[in-house]
Amino acid sequence: MSDALKNELLSQVEAAADLAALEEVRVTALGKKGRITGLMKELGGLSPDERRERGQALNVLKDEIASAIDARKAELARAHLEARLEAERIDVTLPVRPEAEGRIHPISQTIDEMVAIFAEMGFTVAEGPDVEDDFHNFTALNFPPGHPARDMHDTFYLPDAPSENGADKKMLLRTHTSPVQVRTMLNKKPPIRIIAPGRTYRSDYDMTHTPMFHQIEGLVIDEATNMGHLKGCLIEFCRAFFDVDDLPLRFRPSFFPFTEPSAEVDIGCSRKGGELKLGNHGDWLEILGCGMVHPNVLEACGIDSTRYQGFAFGMGIERVAMLKYGIPDLRTFFEADLRWLKHYGFVPLDVPSMAQGLTR
């Protein structure tokens, strides 16, 4: 009887196609009303010797069926997992779909292009903090007290922080990247030749102004640099950046507290038919400011102004990017519109260089 029952139950276990069918077999064999459980209840009516012999046989049968059920359960669970993994498998060998390709933002591309050009001239990149103090942002740059640029309508001021001597230290979001020049002059002896690209902040917002924007500034300090070197540097940069070999530049006298003499630079253009075209066409467009570093700035940074001199320049990165790539509204740079980025963005692996070209 036990052998026939054993074979029957083992066959049912093996034939169970899923976990639900296997559970039904377990209940039929080992449940409260199961067949083996029923045989165990009949042991009370047997003699002691028969009870012992029959009980041992039923216990062995019970253990064998339970082991077979556990083994079949593990097998079914493994098969279920493999089927699920197969159904949910992702083929990572498929090529990247065109719509999933990323794009380099025009600001990042423009910065890379500028760095590539100035690197060829021997400039290195310098960086500094976005949160500055009044000394680095204004005082060291020859901004006298009461200068309009210090007004809160232009500058984002932060709560004053206590300085080492106990006095309040006025903190702000830098209004230009010139503090990077100050920090460089304070920490490095001439000769100095750096560019400082980065974010800047001013309280303004319209089609041509945003509260956060990007600037790049350049600084050269040595014993022999003069205004002619400044003009040559900017002429070469503008012609390389805009890819116009005969692009004319005009230097107009201007005023900046941190340079003397100072100049604003215009590039040649045409506005005929409402279309802006760069080149030698008789019209002009302002693009940047520059000048010879003021002696007061050199002295504030611990540099002997009787021995050293130099030049500095600065321009808005968004402005030149708009000119070069025909982007009409400054605010669109920061709206995170993927359609806009797909239209104006650049292929990631096309890294700008003077050898292979800035834009491909």
Query: What pLDDT is stored for residue 97 in this prediction?
Result: 66
75 located within any domain: yes
Res. 335: pLDDT tops 90: no
State phi, psi for 241 to the nearest 5 degrees. -65, -45
356 located within any domain: no
**Do 58 and 118 sit in the same domain of this protein?**
no
Q: What is the pTM of this model?
A: 0.68
* Tokens at 93, concatenated: 């060998």
Residue 352, Cα to own-chain centre: how many angstroms?
18
pLDDT digits (tens, 9 = 90+) for 166-190: 555 788 999 999 999 999 999 999 9
Cβ(353)–Cβ(116) below 8 Å: yes
Res. 327: pLDDT tops 60: yes
**Do 221 and 263 sit in the same domain of this protein?**
yes
- Mean pLDDT on 267-288: 85
Query: What pLDDT is stored for residue 359 in this prediction?
Result: 62
Res. 163: pLDDT tops 70: no
Confidence at 50, pLDDT banded by 50, 70, 90: confident
Q: Measured between alpha carbons, how far is 234 from 253 in angstroms, rounded to an integer?
A: 16
**Do 291 and 146 sit in the same domain of this protein?**
yes
The one-letter code for the residue type at 72 is R
Burial class (CB in 10 A: 0-12, 13-18, 19+), 156: middle
Query: What pLDDT is stored for residue 122 in this prediction?
Result: 93
**DSSP string over 146-157:** T-GGGSTTT--E
Query: What pLDDT is stored for residue 258 in this prediction?
Result: 93
Q: What percent of the chain has pLDDT over 70?
A: 91
- Mean pLDDT on 301-311: 95
The count of structural domains within the chain is: 2
Cβ(358)–Cβ(121) below 8 Å: no
Query: What pLDDT is stored for residue 19 in this prediction?
Result: 81
**Do 206 and 271 sit in the same domain of this protein?**
yes
**Do 226 and 171 sit in the same domain of this protein?**
yes
Q: Tell me the three state secondary structure of residue 186.
A: helix
**DSSP string over 15-47:** H--SHHHHHHHHHHHHSTT-HHHHHHHGGGGS-
Query: What pLDDT is stored for residue 165 in this prediction?
Result: 61
Q: Measured between alpha carbons, how far is 58 from 38 in angstroms, rounded to an integer?
A: 11
Site of tokens 């950046």 = 241
Dihedral (C-alpha) 298, 299, 303, 304: value to the nearest 10 degrees? 110
Query: What pLDDT is stored for residue 30 in this prediction?
Result: 76
Res. 250: pLDDT tops 70: yes
Res. 93: pLDDT tops 70: yes
- Mean pLDDT on 341-352: 83
Res. 96: pLDDT tops 70: no
**Do 52 and 114 sit in the same domain of this protein?**
no
**Do 292 and 330 sit in the same domain of this protein?**
yes
- Name the residue range of residue 207's domain: 106-344
Q: Measured between alpha carbons, how far is 233 from 213 in angstroms, rounded to an integer?
A: 24
**Do 202 and 138 sit in the same domain of this protein?**
yes
